[in-house]
Amino acid sequence: MREFMLSVQRFLKDESGPTMVEYLFMLSLVIFAALVGIGIVGDTTLDLFTRTKNAMP
């Protein structure tokens, strides 16, 4: 029983789980920002090409 209590205490003191969750959260924010940025640049580029095509004789 003593070993079980020691293993529970070690588990509660271990901070690698929350660190992993924090890294995953930051990674998801970076991916979201990249997708939004790509979408904005893609729309702007499409508009630019459309205006250029329509301006050609």
Per the structure, the complete domain to which residue 43 belongs is given by 18-57
Note whether residue 3 is domain-resident.
Answer: no
Note whether residue 38 is domain-resident.
Answer: yes
Note whether residue 29 is domain-resident.
Answer: yes
How many folded domains does the chain comprise? Answer: 1
In eight-state DSSP terms, residue 14 is: -
What pLDDT does 28 receive?
97
Note whether residue 4 is domain-resident.
Answer: no
Note whether residue 30 is domain-resident.
Answer: yes
Note whether residue 27 is domain-resident.
Answer: yes
What pLDDT does 55 receive?
93
What pLDDT does 13 receive?
81
Write down the pTM of the prediction: 0.58
pLDDT in tens, the chain (57 residues): 888 888 888 877 877 777 888 899 999 999 999 999 999 999 999 999 999 999 997
Torsion of CA 21, 25, 28, 32, to 10 degrees: 170
> Could you give the C-alpha distances from 54 to 21, 38, 49, in angstroms and in order?
49, 24, 9
